A and B are shown apart, each in its own frame.
Chain A
Amino acid sequence: MYIKGVGMTKFDYSTKPWWDIAYRAAIEALKDAKIGIESIDAIVFTSMSSAAGGEHQTHKVSFLSELFKTNVPIIEIVSVCGGGGVALWTALRMKGFKNILVLGAEKFADNRSEIVVDWILSAAEKIYEQSEGMLFPTQNALVWQMYMEKYEATMDDLSLIAFKNHQNAALNPNAYFYEKPLTLEKIKDSPEVSSPLRLMDCSLSVNGGAAVIISEEETEIEVIGSGFATDQILTFGREDITHFKATKLAAKDAFTQAGIVVKDIDIAEVHDAFTSVELISYEDIGFAEEGKGGELIRSGKINLGGEMPINVSGGLKAKGHPISATGLAQVYEIVHQLRGDCGKRQVNNPKIGLTHNIGGAGGSVTVHILKKIK
């Protein structure tokens, strides 16, 4: 399958309703694809909004039918932070449809942070983990602490990841931190939220939408690999706590399908819900050997201008993380990078890009590989 069009909203604290966010992302993708909604044969939608807004809606497919004045099949998929990737993975496997709109939107940050966090936590295990104080930063802090102990990694490596992503976001008009770069000192000095992770190791929960139109019709960008794997929700019951098995499996599947190896990747959007997750994912995807993720960030190879830039969009960390829309926004970035129209953050002539999207604390992971063929 091929990518025909992409769209996204700016990631921010918009007070617009979820459907308006979805609509605007879809319209941009349709315009980009140069087709009207009548050319869309099916829609795959992903969302988990809203935290506490009075507009909570569980029959979103019918709502979208109303907005788009269409009666085509609309499927809703929820896989929390990994929803965008899972929606794309599903759409790629749907037979008999010429053009499929894959759409994600969240109106999520709409109340005090305690309420929003409580809603986000519905993506984690309630009885054994949440009840015992495991917030998402806490789970990842503990994973990182055990990683640090195993591989003698340091917090400075995470600071470099945050710094890189904030530098990149400052160049991305759709990012929350556009034109607002942060200094390394500010990152290092940010308060601890759950030791050893600091505020600036955490991604930014925002509102936003993203859309991707896939097509049977050949375009300039082909999806050459698509992998999806899951893992148990009890983070600490996993065989190896310091790595995400689902990432390893999804990446292996995607690379096998694509018939390429890791070094063929020119650019990647890696799920950085926490800076530690980005570092561990370098190893799980295969960009670095086990325990060598720190070396990769220190080498500068993955900075903008390096051999294989990672998260040039600013990532979840600084572009923002509107939960289900994130995976599709990653595809949006790679598509524009492959087209070569990213302005100041444009990577030098990339041919193959990768997206990596995680749901929960490693519970559902997709990896997609996109290739510029024209």
Chain B
Amino acid sequence: MVFYKCLKCEKKWQHPVDICPFCFSILERVKTTKAKVIAKSKVSIPSLMHPKVPYFALVLEDEKGIRFAYKSIEEKMIGEDIHFESNINDDAVAIWRNNYDLLDSIEIISELLGGFNLNSKSKILILPTLVSSTHDYLRDNTSTEFLSAVITFLHDRDVKEIKIATQSFDDYEIENLAQKSGILDVCLKNKIVPFDLSKGAFVKKGKIEISKEVEEADLILNLSILKSGKGSSTENVFKLINKENYFSLKYLYSEEEMVLQIKDIKNIVSIGEAIYPQRVDKFPVFRNLIFASKNSVNLDAVFNATGLVNQLPKYLKNIDISNIPIVGRGILEVQRNIDILL
């Protein structure tokens, strides 16, 4: 939980305002880690946002006296501490509900997966989703605020070497897409020049030709913008493959085979943005969630399960999500039918 405090007036806000309206001081971002249950209600009526009942609506209070609401499928007792275990298993999927502050969500989701082991010498490759020249609100590409938050997260951990790159599998020029989507602006503000992976070298690994940048990076952050009925995270990992190689393999084999091939890329963490993910019909729907996993396929399967989406690519259809370790929020806690209302 993060809140914002005026050090002069002592007033606190949960909404991320930055200036105190009384004394105009810049507010301090304060994080709390532990909270206990002070009240609970068993909810028996289903609603669009919370179709699965019963669930427990809790009031939590943290060590600084900040109170906030919290939903749990499991019953909790008054006085019980709420804390989250991390899981370093490569197959684990972390789910978190974003509270406006994307940086806070990224920090939490990193902790839930055991941390990304970052330091001043880390070499990071950010792989944004960049598929159309549209504004953020249409949720086609990684949003500018999400990319900004990830870069801030890395800078806060003293990471100096950050590259941002992807490639287009359509006829669009990456440079044009980056410019029109606003991603170029974010990169340049952070003194990073984004580049097109297709213009660099590729190395053969099994059946696939992978960008040489994969070998050179300590960690690849796959920033997928999640879309219903798709394997958005996995599809974005495909962008690390040589374009011609990707299409020929897809023609010769299948997407399932491609998925098997990219499993050999070990230094990758997918962070899925699902604040307003697209429905199958491309209308963005408010979900306010962030997902992360070292296994992009698991991430895609879990994301679609939280939206009760059945129309899935073949490689996601047979995944049994009950076998996937989940950390942070539970699937049932955040599940709702994404097709009902916007």
Contact = CB atoms under 8 A, between A and B. Distances in A.
Given A115-B341, A127-B288, A128-B68, A133 B45 contact: no
Contacts of B135: none
Contacts of A193: 43-45
A112 to B, nearest CB: 10
Given A126-B286, A196-B41, A237-B68, 6 more contacts: A117-B48, A135-B50, A137-B45, A138-B57, A197-B41, A234-B14
A241 B69 contact: no
13 contacts: A115-B341, A118-B47, A130-B49, A132-B69, A132-B97, A133-B50, A138-B41, A138-B57, A145-B40, A194-B43, A195-B44, A234-B68, A237-B14
Interface of A: 114-115, 117-118, 121, 126-135, 137-138, 141-142, 145-146, 191-197, 234-237, 241
A192 B43 CA distance: 8
B196 to A, nearest CB: 37
Nearest to A198: B44
A132 B47 contact: no
A102 B52 CA distance: 41
B14 A145 contact: no
B238 to A, nearest CB: 32
Contact of B39 (A121, A129, A137, A145): A145
Nearest to B3: A237
**Interface-centre pick from A115, A138, A195 (highest chain B CB count, 10 A):** A138
A200 to B, nearest CB: 14
Contacts of A191: 44
A121 B48 CA distance: 11
Interface of B: 14-15, 38-50, 55-57, 59, 66-71, 97, 99-100, 286, 288, 341
Contact of A131 (B40, B59, B97): B97
B71 A128 contact: no
Contacts of B15: 128
A158 to B, nearest CB: 14
Contacts of A241: 59, 67
Contacts of A127: 99-100, 288
B57 A132 contact: yes
A117 B69 contact: no
Contacts of A196: 41
A194 B69 contact: no
Contacts of B50: 133, 135
What 10 A-B pairs have minimum CB-CB distances, sorted nearest first? A133-B71, A132-B69, A141-B41, A236-B67, A195-B42, A133-B57, A132-B71, A138-B57, A118-B48, A142-B39
A192 B69 contact: no
**Interface-centre pick from A130, A137, A195 (highest chain B CB count, 10 A):** A195
Contacts of A195: 41-44
Contact of A114 (B42, B44, B46, B97): B46
Contact of B48 (A115, A129, A138, A236): A115
A188 B59 CA distance: 26
B39 A146 contact: yes
A138 B69 CA distance: 11
Contacts of A118: 47-49, 341
B70 A237 contact: no
Nearest to B66: A237
Contact of A194 (B41, B66, B67, B341): B41
Contacts of B68: 128, 132, 234, 236-237
A114 B50 CA distance: 10
Contacts of A146: 38-39, 59
